[in-house]
Structure 1
Amino acid sequence: MESFVSKILDEVDLQILNIMQKEAQVSNAELARRVNLSPPATHARVKRLESEGYINRQVAILNQEKLGFDLLCFVFISTNIHQAEQLEILESALRAMPEVLECHCLTGEYDYLLKVAIRDRRELDSFIRKLNRLGISRLQTNLSLREIKYSTVLPIWEGKKP
């Protein structure tokens, strides 16, 4: 049974996406060589994949610890806000906080999960105070002791047909 994605993207598209998500700085010539297309054809496919939204952006992933962000925190938030307009204000404020790397709206016991990069305990205290001013009813902060796995690679291609 074919997946929805495999009906829209062909095998070469998936190969291109897989290579680019692992090696964003791969040259067009090298990418073309690896997918057995000409450089102009490969470039056209990459531009199409970007314009169709399959590639959101290309970024450098920085070393958090080397840059002094010693605390990686997961913050669970509950709120008593139920009006859509006030929720949008809250979510907008969370999006604007540079410490917040990720913010997810959840089902279950908590309403939101934040992944936060903080330099030290003082910054963590300041960040929590900032959150409390947003009308948070309950907050739980967990510190990551060590990273077991980190990946931005989606399992879209393992050398098989989609």
Structure 2
Amino acid sequence: MKLDKFDREILRVMQRDATVSMAELSQYVGLSHTPCWRRVKRMEADGVIRQKVTLLDSKKLNLGVSVFIYVTLKNHDGDSLVDFEKAVQEIVEIVECHTTSGEKDYLLKVIVESIEEYEQLLKNKLTHLPLVDHLSSTFALKQVKNTTELPIKNI
């Protein structure tokens, strides 16, 4: 899908505040209400805008421990990868899972309340994921940057 400057500006504004009204959005981007609404609907239909969400503050919810875990699997056949990826979906504390290049197969991001909770998660669930050969955990000490905004460039 080709995006013009108005589409890109709509996306920039909506990334910052998905609750912005159509009237406000049209003012921000310099379009009248109806063309702005049509563009938003088109980008939703095309899947550029997947969903609108509410972002939560993990610290205020007492979920202040972030752990990054590199995972190495015992083998890499198609069924093994599918089984691992399916099992990861079932663990709510895993908030991100990425396949990676290089020596490690996956990178997981886990958010928990405490180190003790992570220890229990590790013992009871993570080490039992299908075909896991090795897990390497790193605790985040401080979050320096946190954005949900994609870097939408100008045309």
Q: Normalized against structure 1, the TM-score is what?
A: 0.89
SS state at 1:141 partner: strand
Aligned to 2:149: 153
Q: How many residues are aligned here?
A: 153
- Asked whether 1:122 is paired with 2:122, we answer no
- Asked whether 1:61 is paired with 2:55, we answer yes
The one-letter code matched in structure 1 to 2:42 is: R
- Asked whether 1:95 is paired with 2:89, we answer yes
Deviation digits for residues 50-89 of structure 1, max 9, x if unmatched?
1111112111111101101121110111011322112101
The one-letter code matched in structure 1 to 2:84 is: L
SS state at 1:108 partner: coil
After superposition, the CA RMSD in angstroms is 1.3
SS state at 1:42 partner: helix
Unaligned 5+ runs, structure 2: none
CA apart distance, 1:153 = 1.2
Q: Counterparts in 2 of 1:19-38, with a 5 A limit?
A: 19-38=13-32
Aligned to 2:43: 49
Q: Normalized against structure 2, the TM-score is what?
A: 0.93
CA apart distance, 1:21 = 0.8
Deviation digits for residues 95-150 of structure 1, max 9, x if unmatched?
22111111100011211001110111232112212111123111111111111111
Unaligned 5+ runs, structure 1: none
Aligned to 1:138: 134
**Runs of 4 or more above 3 Å deviation:** none
Percent identity among equivalent residues? 36
Q: How far, CA to CA, are the matches of 2:118 and 2:54 in structure 1?
A: 25
Q: How far, CA to CA, are the matches of 2:151 and 2:98 in structure 1?
A: 21
Quick one: which of 64, 70, 76 aligns to 2:70?
Answer: 76
